[in-house]
Amino acid sequence: MSPLALADAGTAALLLNLQALGLRLEDSDVGVTGRRGGAGPSDHKAVNLAGRTVMIPIATASACESPFVASRPDQHGISVIRRDGIEVSRIEFPRQPRFYQLQTADGIPYSQIATLHSSDVLATTLLQSCIRYGNRKTSCQFCAIGQSLAAGKTILRKTPEQLAEVAKAAVELDGVKHMVMTTGTPNLTDRGAAILCESAQAVKAVVDLPIQGQCEPPDDDVWFERMKASGIDSLGMHLEAVTPEVRARIMPGKAGVPLERYMDAFEAAVKVFGRGQVSTYILAGLGDTVEAILAMSEQLIGKGVYPFVVPFVPITGTPLEKYPAPAPAFMAQILPPLGAMLKQANLLSQDMKAGCAKCGACSALASYEV
């Protein structure tokens, strides 16, 4: 479904508020199982709002305080969202995808290999660990990559064969349209590019599914060619925070990869994947100012890189679980001007072949590109 379906200003503003403040549920057992403890932003649940599937924080500390409450769904699966007792919108919780009912020959449920994000994205974390995660002095403070592994909801390493099997089933049974492959960082050389290559190659051998790979900038730009040749269509290299002090505080290990390296890597990657097929995730609310995020975004757009700005969601069990989510007013200073910049540059989420920016479910940004 096109992100542009949510083009009306009132609904875009409601989404911005819901993603910043979260949503309380009267009945927490409804819908597709939420994302808890993955790499990057998590603790979301997919909901259909105004013709678009979006991810809303549900199981977070701040969501428990949210003024928005969703009622138990009626017999048609429709739930009413109220604020201070007054109805503000209606949502629907998507059903569990069909491929979740399957398992591999050796008994691993498909849902432990890849999950459905939004309505049509298959997402997987190839390696559910990271060289930095075990040590709080180096780990990214927002990251919960080990939590779903510890909870037995996923497996440590998804093999190329398993990924191919699940991707084929998800396309055939649930009509997924693109795939996101992210990974914990396994080493300080290729930084995950090698396992992205072998995984993408295996998936593309069995199903024609656009793939976004996500990793840190590898040590050698030759990996961009290799990833492209393996079947990766779009690439995400995620800054998360944009000012050196915030990077050092929030992601002390990853901040060892300097911003200059990211910028060089973006340029090299755009040459290989094309303008608008390289993106970065920026988590708003970790300490970067509005001006810093917009200035970085402008620089990135100038390089042909899509800055996917997402409100930070504090995940239960991480060092930042009590850190406040950004206020809606903060997001409202960033997303509309950023959307206008993207439109002006004709660098649009809908033109991405695959990935988070194309999906757009974790941010209201795409609603402001129109």
Where along the sequence are the contacts to ligand SF4 (CB under 6 A)?
A: 55, 117-118, 121, 123, 180, 356, 359, 361-362
Q: DSSP strand E in 58-210: where?
A: 68-70, 78-83, 86-92, 115-117, 121-125, 178-182
**Shortest distance in whole angstroms from residue 362 CB to ligand SF4:** 3
- Residue with Cβ nearer ligand SF4 (19 or 230): 19
- Residue with Cβ nearer ligand SF4 (293 or 361): 361
Report CA dihedral (230, 234, 235, 241) to the nearest 10 degrees: -170
**Shortest distance in whole angstroms from residue 38 CB to ligand SF4:** 8
- Residue with Cβ nearer ligand SF4 (12 or 361): 361
Within 10 A of 172 (CB to CB), how many other CB atoms are there? 12
Residue 241 to residue 250: CA distance in whole angstroms: 8
Which tokens sit at 50? 């105004």
Residue 231 to residue 201: CA distance in whole angstroms: 6
**Shortest distance in whole angstroms from residue 234 CB to ligand SF4:** 12
- Residue with Cβ nearer ligand SF4 (47 or 193): 47
φ and ψ at 358, to 5 degrees? Answer: -65, -45
Residue 194 to residue 55: CA distance in whole angstroms: 30
**Shortest distance in whole angstroms from residue 36 CB to ligand SF4:** 13
- Residue with Cβ nearer ligand SF4 (35 or 226): 35
The closest alpha carbon to 46, from 360, 286, 366, 367, belongs to 360
| CB neighbour class for 329 (10 Å; exposed up to 12, middle 13-18, buried from 19) | exposed
- Residue with Cβ nearer ligand SF4 (342 or 359): 359
Residues in CB range of 38: below 8 A, 6 or more apart? 123, 125, 144, 145, 148
**Shortest distance in whole angstroms from residue 201 CB to ligand SF4:** 21
**Shortest distance in whole angstroms from residue 41 CB to ligand SF4:** 6
- Residue with Cβ nearer ligand SF4 (178 or 226): 178
**Shortest distance in whole angstroms from residue 121 CB to ligand SF4:** 4
Instruction: Report the run of H or E that residue 223 belongs to, with start and end.
Output: helix 222-230
